């Protein structure tokens, strides 16, 4: 179908739309039992395939470092002469905003405190518990997460920009499936990616809106945290996202991402300077050291000798979560990374966001733990934070002077991160359902942005957000396999590309050719002179 | 397998052009190509001072002059212009763009002349054949356009089916006889044990025979598979070539890469040897 307003790839677009609708209707009609079904599937997956996740995510890191340091690192995404579309600073801003901005706002305070209140190895509320809490949080938000994104994004970028294939997940399978990726197999892969993205995004929008609503209600008692209030907020956020979508990447997501980072930096500086500054500095160093020291043991740990179920609920949950988000984040990162060399890409995606994440976690969660340890009130702060994750950030900010301002900045930040997520998510879904076109008609992108909001709203009213989130995470397992295949495909593609680039460097003998050219020219001039 | 319909031919302004055009003219009598594109690559990324001086004297752009020159050669060979024949001049001196063009056109076959002094991956032909996705045919200066016997080199890799299909297509159009052959080469590690080597060769032969029968059933053709056994140190490429020549084949068809070739090679070592050493036989490389 092709006209001014719509340019879609039917075999992906329609099944996706129908499946999304069917899924929502079933979830609404069946209600709570649906959530049980999904959570038993999820439990089954984490129980039986946890070890597989553990080894795979480690493989991704090894693979990334291998690519970064190997001779293939010099290959440029988009060809030898490609130039980056965005400056390095806006590139980082977009990486970070799309990758985890929103998750960090939600969990940045809460996760370390959760571990501190219920550590795996140590006593709760102790120094050892605090150290362990920070190390585990770093593990979940560190290199592994970004390695997952890097693998997906790099594969997509390479096949789209260097091999000139459509920017959709199916293209990555070309070395394996050949031209069959344009048939039903490719369609199935793309539909799976659309579903994971749409559900992941819709549930995040829904849960994020509860955070904004909870925050507003917490600070301004005028507001009541009701479903109606949430739906109104959702409408406003969706409207903002739609406007941002209409403006395109350059004026929309890019500008918003940059502002997100500025605001986030402001909040971070606020917390660091008005909070326990010295503790922040020293604990950042110590946390990073502990993380590096423990990374091998922790990231290969599978609870093999004593399964408490802790890992399934946290580590494996995170790995599955990052993986289920990876088609979306990966495609977005791919889109903004044309013109980077593979080395730049790997270290840009792996190191910079990870370090920023460490700073954030230490400033937010670390300081919260610090406050809790300092106060002699029966760990009231930790209790309040773990009670309700959606208000954790605001409870924490109450410990600061000018907490009102801090909280308002926090709310704006959450909202604006949601706008960027929704916006980039719509761009990605639109791109996949349009057969990999980079710039589909605006109407179509508006359709997806609005649809995302609508799905979230329906689920907020009818219930079933949690069910859908569980469903989204269960796509982690099929995608894990897809990701492993991606590594193989990418490696294969890079080997060839490198050989080709080397071959291009050598010059063809120009001298002999020029002699022949002269012959033709002089023949022609002689003819002209004669006539 | 697609029919051989959309063909490209590289003209480089040398004496080879006329030979190639005559060759393809005779092929065309059998094949009736629906489209022939004569490609000329201006292998200069910038013009020398001498060139810059004479080009204005032409009174028209250099590309136009080249186009006319090539068109003239086409007219000579085909007895006048034909609307199924186009000329494409690729200027700018970027092999990358040339490759993009060739891949974009989805040619069924690209034909190039092969100089006696082929210099491997440094020559234009050597580069283009490695970088493009199309099937390539290299034609030496003194080859006959009369195709009666086709040597088909099979190694039962993923290319073999396509190679056989290509041979069948050529055979159908020209009435040529198909001569399939495969090389029995035991892996090096067996070499010290001569007796075992014989056994290994025997089982290898059985395996090849089995794969061959499978291929026969799938594609439906009858011709006996010939087994070539190399002397110590003899290069497989050389063996295939010599055998094809001694059986008076008129062309060799083979895959781009063999089973054992490394991923990083854009062209297999046997194929490389065949287009590099051959002086008489055209070689068609299936990708």
The residue among B286, B152, B271, B284 whose CA lies nearest residue B221 is B152
- Domains: count for chain B: 2
SS3 B115: coil
Q: Do B62 and A521 touch (CB under 8 A)?
A: yes
Q: Does domain A10-498 have CATH number 3.40.718.10?
A: no
Q: Do A517 and B265 touch (CB under 8 A)?
A: no
What pLDDT score does B277 carry?
66
Claim to verify: residue B11 and residue B54 sit in the same structural domain: yes
What pLDDT score does A112 carry?
95
What pLDDT score does A129 carry?
93
What pLDDT score does B121 carry?
60
pLDDT at B192 over 70: no
Range of the domain at B98: 1-142
Candidate from A500, A506, A514 with C-beta closest to B122: A506
The proportion of chain A whose per-residue pLDDT surpasses 70, expressed as a percent, equals 97
Claim to verify: residue B101 and residue B63 sit in the same structural domain: yes
**Residue B130, domain CATH:** 3.40.50.620
- Cβ-Cβ contacts under 8 Å for A317 (sequence gap 6 or more): A46, A473
What pLDDT score does A70 carry?
94
Q: What are the DSSP calls for A245-287, one per residue?
A: HHHHHHHTHHHHHHHHHHHHHHHHHHHHHHS-HHHHHHHHHHH
Q: Do A521 and B65 touch (CB under 8 A)?
A: yes
Q: pLDDT digits over A460-485, tens only?
A: 887 767 777 777 778 888 889 999 99
Claim to verify: residue B137 and residue B176 sit in the same structural domain: no
Q: What are the DSSP calls for B211-267, one per residue?
A: HHHHHHHHHT-----EEE-PPTT--HHHHHHHHHHHTT-SEEEEESS-TT--TT-SS
| pLDDT (mean) for A496-517 | 78
Of the candidates B142, B174, B206, which is a domain's last residue? B142
Claim to verify: residue B137 and residue B152 sit in the same structural domain: no
Claim to verify: residue B56 and residue B168 sit in the same structural domain: no
What pLDDT score does B49 carry?
84
- Confidence band for B19, pLDDT divided at 50, 70 and 90: confident
pLDDT at A505 over 90: no
Q: pLDDT digits over A510-522, tens only?
A: 777 888 888 888 8
Q: Which residues of A touch B (CB under 8 A)?
A: 79-80, 164, 492, 495-496, 498-500, 503-504, 506, 508-510, 513-514, 516-525, 528
Q: Do B54 and A525 touch (CB under 8 A)?
A: yes
Residue of A nearest to B62 (CA): A521
Q: Classify residue A158 by its DSSP letter.
A: I
| pLDDT (mean) for A233-260 | 84
What pLDDT score does A443 carry?
83
Q: pLDDT digits over A157-189, tens only?
A: 999 999 888 888 888 888 888 888 888 888 888
ipTM greater than cut 0.85: no
pLDDT at A224 over 90: no
| pLDDT (mean) for B73-95 | 88
pLDDT at B122 over 70: no
- Select from B45, B91, B96 the residue whose CB has the most chain A CBs within 10 Å, as the one to mutate to test that interface: B96
- Confidence band for A340, pLDDT divided at 50, 70 and 90: very high
pLDDT at A150 over 70: yes
Claim to verify: residue B53 and residue B152 sit in the same structural domain: no
Token pair listed for A355: 């370090």
Candidate from B42, B51, B58 with C-beta closest to A525: B58
Answer with the residue of higher pLDDT: B211 or A225: B211
| pLDDT (mean) for A329-344 | 91
What pLDDT score does A1 carry?
45
Q: What are the DSSP calls for B73-112, one per residue?
A: HHHHHHTS--TTEEEEEE-SS-HHHHHHHHHHHT-SEEEE
Q: Do B12 and A524 touch (CB under 8 A)?
A: no
Judging contacts by C-beta atoms under 8 Å, the chain B residues touching residue A529 are none
Candidate from A503, A516, A522 with C-beta closest to B121: A503
- Confidence band for A271, pLDDT divided at 50, 70 and 90: very high
Claim to verify: residue B262 and residue B171 sit in the same structural domain: yes
Q: pLDDT digits over A61-93, tens only?
A: 999 999 999 999 999 998 888 889 889 888 888
- Cβ-Cβ contacts under 8 Å for A178 (sequence gap 6 or more): none
Claim to verify: residue B182 and residue B57 sit in the same structural domain: no
| pLDDT (mean) for B182-201 | 67
The residue among B60, B64, B67 whose CA lies nearest residue B11 is B67
pLDDT at A506 over 70: no
Q: pLDDT digits over B274-285, tens only?
A: 877 656 788 999
Buried b (16+ CB within 10 A) or exposed e, A458-482: bbbeebbbbbbbbbbbbbbbebbeb
**Range from A349-363, B71-85, B197-211 carrying the lowest mean pLDDT:** B197-211
Is B55's Cβ below 8 Å from some Cβ in A?
yes
Cα–Cα dist A430/A446, whole Å: 9
* C-alpha pair distances (Å), B163 with each of A72, A94, B4, B150, B175: 32, 48, 13, 11, 17
Cα–Cα dist A106/A396, whole Å: 12
Residue B198, class by beta-carbon neighbours within 10 Å (0-12 exposed, 13-18 middle, 19+ buried)?
Answer: exposed
SS3 B10: strand
| Cβ–Cβ under 8 Å, residues A331 and A249 | no
- Cβ-Cβ contacts under 8 Å for A149 (sequence gap 6 or more): A99, A322, A326, A329, A330, A333, A349
Q: Do B96 and A495 touch (CB under 8 A)?
A: no
The highest-confidence range among A10-24, A104-118, A208-222, A277-291, by mean pLDDT, is A277-291
Give the number of residues written for chain A.
531
Of the candidates B78, B109, B142, which is a domain's last residue? B142
Claim to verify: residue B62 and residue B137 sit in the same structural domain: yes
Q: pLDDT digits over A397-454, tens only?
A: 988 988 888 888 888 888 888 888 888 888 888 888 888 776 777 888 888 888 888 8
Judging contacts by C-beta atoms under 8 Å, the chain B residues touching residue A495 are 263-264
pLDDT at A290 over 90: yes
Judging contacts by C-beta atoms under 8 Å, the chain B residues touching residue A517 are 13, 42, 44, 51
Q: What is the mean pLDDT of chain A?
A: 86
- Cβ-Cβ contacts under 8 Å for A275 (sequence gap 6 or more): A363, A367, A370, A399, A400
- Confidence band for B54, pLDDT divided at 50, 70 and 90: confident
Is B1's Cβ below 8 Å from some Cβ in A?
no
pLDDT at A284 over 80: yes
What pLDDT score does A527 carry?
80
Cα–Cα dist B68/A201, whole Å: 60
Q: What is the mean pLDDT of chain B?
A: 84
Cα–Cα dist B244/A256, whole Å: 68
Per the DSSP assignment, residues forming a β-bridge with B286 are B255
Q: pLDDT digits over B220-266, tens only?
A: 888 888 888 877 777 888 888 888 988 989 999 999 887 777 777 78
Is B287's Cβ below 8 Å from some Cβ in A?
no
What's the CA angle centered on A362, arms A360 and A367, to 5 degrees?
115
Claim to verify: residue B45 and residue B150 sit in the same structural domain: no
Claim to verify: residue B164 and residue B55 sit in the same structural domain: no
Is B246's Cβ below 8 Å from some Cβ in A?
no
Of the candidates B87, B120, B142, which is a domain's last residue? B142
- Confidence band for A126, pLDDT divided at 50, 70 and 90: very high
Claim to verify: residue B84 and residue B126 sit in the same structural domain: yes
pLDDT at A120 over 70: yes
The highest-confidence range among B19-23, B76-80, B149-153, by mean pLDDT, is B149-153
Q: pLDDT digits over A297-318, tens only?
A: 999 998 888 878 888 888 988 8
- Confidence band for B88, pLDDT divided at 50, 70 and 90: very high
């Amino acid at each position: 179908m092709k006209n001014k307003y719509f340019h879609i790839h039917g075999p992906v677009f329609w099944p996706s739309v129908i499946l999304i609708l069917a899924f929502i209707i079933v979830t609404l009609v069946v209600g709570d039992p649906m959530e049980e079904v999904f959570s038993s599937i999820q439990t089954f997956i984490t129980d039986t395939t946890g070890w597989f996740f553990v080894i795979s995510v480690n493989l991704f890191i090894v693979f990334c470092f291998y690519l970064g340091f190997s001779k293939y690192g010099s290959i440029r995404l988009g060809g030898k002469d490609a130039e980056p579309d965005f400056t390095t600073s806006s590139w980082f801003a977009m990486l970070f905003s799309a990758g985890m901005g929103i998750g960090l706002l939600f969990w940045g305070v809460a996760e370390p405190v959760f571990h501190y209140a219920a550590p795996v190895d140590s006593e709760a509320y102790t120094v050892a518990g605090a150290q362990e809490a920070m190390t585990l949080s770093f593990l979940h938000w560190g290199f592994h997460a970004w390695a997952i994104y890097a693998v997906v994004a790099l594969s997509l970028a390479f096949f789209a920009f260097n091999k000139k294939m459509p920017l959709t997940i199916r293209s990555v399978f070309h070395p394996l499936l050949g031209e069959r990726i344009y048939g039903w197999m490719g369609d199935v892969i793309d539909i799976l990616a659309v579903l994971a993205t749409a559900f992941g995004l819709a549930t995040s929008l829904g849960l994020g809106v509860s955070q904004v609503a909870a925050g507003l209600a917490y600070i301004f008692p005028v507001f009541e945290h009701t479903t109606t209030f949430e739906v109104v907020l959702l409408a406003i956020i969706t409207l903002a996202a739609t406007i941002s979508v209409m403006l395109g990447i350059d004026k929309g997501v890019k500008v918003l991402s940059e502002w997100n980072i500025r605001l986030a930096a402001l909040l971070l500086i606020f917390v660091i300077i008005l909070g326990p500054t010295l503790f922040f500095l020293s604990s950042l160093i110590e946390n990073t050291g502990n993380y590096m020291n423990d990374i091998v043991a922790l990231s290969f740990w599978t609870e093999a000798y004593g399964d408490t179920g802790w890992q399934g609920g946290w580590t494996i949950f995170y790995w599955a979560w990052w993986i289920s988000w990876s088609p979306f984040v990966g495609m977005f990162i791919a889109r903004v990374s044309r013109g980077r060399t593979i080395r730049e890409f790997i270290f840009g995606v792996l190191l910079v966001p990870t370090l920023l994440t460490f700073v954030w976690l230490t400033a937010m969660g670390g300081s919260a733990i610090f406050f809790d340890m300092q106060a002699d009130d029966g760990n009231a702060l930790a209790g309040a934070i773990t009670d309700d994750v959606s208000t954790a950030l605001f409870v924490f900010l109450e410990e600061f002077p000018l907490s009102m301002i801090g909280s308002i900045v926090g709310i704006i930040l959450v909202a604006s991160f949601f706008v960027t997520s929704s916006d980039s998510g719509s761009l990605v879904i639109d791109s996949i359902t349009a057969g990999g076109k980079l710039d589909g008609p605006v109407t179509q992108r508006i359709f997806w942005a609005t649809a995302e909001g609508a799905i979230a709203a329906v689920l907020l009213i009818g219930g079933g957000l949690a069910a859908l989130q569980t469903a989204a995470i269960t796509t982690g397992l099929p995608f894990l396999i897809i990701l492993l295949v991606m590594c193989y495909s990418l490696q294969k593609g890079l080997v060839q590309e490198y050989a080709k680039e080397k071959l291009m460097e050598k010059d063809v003998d120009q001298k002999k050719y020029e002699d022949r050219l002269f012959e033709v020219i002089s023949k022609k001039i002689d003819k002209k002179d004669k006539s | 397998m697609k029919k051989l319909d959309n063909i490209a031919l590289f003209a480089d302004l040398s004496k080879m052009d006329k030979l190639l055009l005559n060759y393809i003219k005779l092929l065309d009598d059998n094949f009736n190509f629906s489209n022939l594109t004569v490609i000329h690559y201006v292998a200069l990324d910038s013009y020398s001072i001498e060139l810059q001086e004479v080009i204005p004297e032409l009174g028209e752009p250099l590309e136009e002059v080249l186009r006319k020159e090539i068109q003239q050669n086409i007219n000579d060979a085909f007895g006048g212009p034909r609307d199924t024949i186009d000329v494409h001049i690729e200027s700018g001196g970027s092999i990358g763009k040339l490759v993009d063009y060739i891949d974009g056109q989805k040619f069924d076959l690209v034909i190039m002349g092969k100089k006696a002094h082929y210099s491997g991956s440094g020559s234009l032909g050597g580069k283009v054949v490695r970088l493009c996705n199309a099937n390539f045919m290299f034609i030496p200066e003194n080859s006959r356009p009369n195709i009666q016997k086709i040597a088909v080199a099979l190694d039962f890799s993923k290319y073999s089916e396509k190679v056989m299909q290509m041979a069948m297509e050529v055979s159908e159009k020209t009435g040529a006889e198909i001569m399939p052959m495969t090389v029995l080469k035991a892996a090096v590690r067996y070499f010290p044990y001569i007796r075992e080597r014989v056994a290994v060769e025997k089982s290898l032969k059985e395996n090849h025979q089995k794969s061959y029968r499978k291929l026969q059933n799938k594609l439906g053709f009858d011709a006996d598979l010939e087994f070539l056994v190399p002397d110590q140190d003899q290069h497989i490429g050389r063996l295939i070539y010599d055998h094809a020549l001694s059986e008076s084949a008129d062309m060799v068809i083979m895959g781009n890469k063999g089973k054992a070739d490394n991923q990083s090679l854009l062209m297999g070592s046997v194929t490389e040897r065949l287009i590099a050493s051959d002086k008489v036989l055209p070689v068609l490389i299936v990708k």
